[in-house]
Every structure is written in C-alpha cells, then in structure tokens.
Structure 1
Amino acid sequence: VNETATSLNERATPLGYVFNLHWANVGFCSVVGNKYNIFKHEVRTWVSTDVSWKVPIDKNEEPTCVRGACRDITYDKDNRKEHPPSPDYYSVPLWDFTVEFDGSKVAGCCDVALNVGFYLNPHTGQGVIDHEGLQGFSGLCHITGKSKFGQSCYEILNRPPQAWFSFEDCVQTSTPATITSVPYYS
C-alpha cells in the first residue's frame, strides 16, 4: 500500500511543462550588398508559427522542441538571459528559420530568420514574452552560388567585398504571441 501511495505521489508532481507557443510577424527589410553603394534590395518577410517546447524543472536539462517545425526552430542557449523575471522562470531564446520572404532578386542568396524570446516557468506553467531581447527579423546573405532566378549572387548583391554579410535593417509588426501549457509527468 505504501508503494502505491509513493508512486501516485510522484506522479502528482510534474517534471515540468510543455509550452505551446504561437507568434506571427510580418516585416520589411532593406538589404545593402555593398556598403560603398546606396543600392538596396527590399525584402518582405512573414511568419506564423505554432510550436511546443518541453521545459523541465531540472535546470540541468535543456528545453526541447516536441511539436511543430522542430528542425527549423532552434534554442539559442548562448543568449539565455541570466536574470529572468523570477528565479523559477527559464529564459528560452529561439531562432525561427521558417520565415518566408519574397526575396526580390536576392531569393536564394539570402536567408531570413526571426529571433523571439520567452520566459517560461516549468514549476507553474506560466510564461511571458521577453520584450527586452533582440526580437525581430534578420538575414544572412552570401555571394557564392546563384539566385532562384539563376543569376550570380555576387552580381545581384552588387559585388560586396566580403563573402557574406548580415542585415537587420527591418521594420516589423506582430500580433501578440500566445503561450499555453500542460504539465508532463514522465
């Protein structure tokens, strides 16, 4: 009888929570291929993402993606915040590579991602958006290869002196992210 009570008691305490996260953003970015030239490409970006992350109470374990585009949404542990709203919250910065963009001429020469951050509490299932983090679209362009239209990336990007460059010159808007959660026991 004591064995049953112990196992029931252990199952009554969750090991953490699975957080269901949703965000939707649209943006407009300017891409300058050569800093010595004012020629710019304009890129319209958009994303709507539903994903679930398992966040354990044990801080030695990392959050893991369990549902959604897990291969294309990465946990950026190097950019975790050291001081969350309270000690029970876990900083979960994510990079969403499911972003779509019209690309203008740069499609195939640039990739765009969205950085979004959350504070998730694996003890209570509560979560808040990290408004102070670097949330927004950014891109990475490379001069090797060809665009989706068969043109040289080097030529399209106006012969930049570097092999690759990033851009963050994006204006964006978004709907409020939503966070729901359910406990998990094993």
Structure 2
Amino acid sequence: MAGEVWQDRPIYGYDSPAVQNTYIEREAASVADFFLPHLQPGMSLLDCGCGPGALTLDLAEAVAPGQAVGIDLEPSMIERAIALATQRQVANVQFRTANICDLPFPGSSFDAIFTSAVLEHLSNPEQALREMYRVLKPGGFVGMIKTDWGEPLISPPPDEAVRQFFELFERGFNHHGGSLNRGRHLRVR
C-alpha cells in the first residue's frame, strides 16, 4: 500500500471497521500453522503488516518471554492492536506504525519475521524483502503468506458480475503497483 490514499482514506478501505473486524477474528493456529512450530520461547519476532494484531498476539505468546513487535502502515490498525493487547493482557508485545519498505529497526534485530498478504499490495516488494532480511538475525527465518487470486474457487460458479469484480480489483492493485496474482511468481530457495 505504501501509504497511498484515495479521498483521504487508505486504498481498498483497509481502515474500515468491517475490514478490521474480519482480521481480528484470525488465529495463528490456523493462519500461521506452518510457522508456529519453528518459534521458541525467548525469540524476538516481527510481524510486518500486523493489522489489528490478532495474529501478532498469538505469535507473541509462542515466543514469550521473548518480545514481539507488530507493524502496520495504517494507524487505526495499530490503535486496534494496542487495544486488543490490553484486552488480552499480552505484555510481551508492542505495536507501531511503520512501513515494511523502511523498517525502523537496526540490522539483525529479530530471530523470526512473519508477514501475511502484504507484498501483493506493494509496488516494490523486493525492497520489503531486503528490509526484512536486513533486520533478520543470522540464522533467523521468515514466514510469509502470499495470496494468488488468479483462479479463486467460488461455488456456485461465478457469474459475469463476479468475474468483472475480480478483473477490476486486480486492475486497481495494478494501478498502484501491486498484484493480486503475485504469489504465483514466487520462487522457493
């Protein structure tokens, strides 16, 4: 998203309560199940694009007494994350507004980094990857979820209006340098 706005709001309505409420229901046990087994107590963890913090709080519990930090570009998401951390009484976490392409941390700061459905919003995802690598400690690891909306499974089969929605949605992402279909272009090393 890179901080872009449309009519004084973040692009795609990311700041809307409906979107925030959807993200607040997520749990690391289902969303980050591939990542959780690698976390150990005492690790330092960064969640890039933490949204309202639900996943970050679950990850913070996995690394306790280590520290977790969640960052997001949208200030209202950070406000929600701080409130949720207070409500759940998770003390080993902090949240801050920050840009994944310009992380405000010194090099080699984190043992583990997590990001979910963020890179497809960026016009320069390579910069975000460089920044994550920069703040990752030697021997650390990154867990990443990338979406690919190229062939969504919709039942019953979508009609023309749904097809047009996805086409317009992708064009909107493309206009701002992102892509809903970037996930299919990833390589594993």
- TM over 0.5, yes or no? no
Bigger RCO (CA 8 Å, 6+ sep): 1
Normalized per residue, which structure has more helix?
2
Name the larger-Rg structure. 1
TM range (shorter): under 0.3
TM-score (normalised: structure 1): 0.27
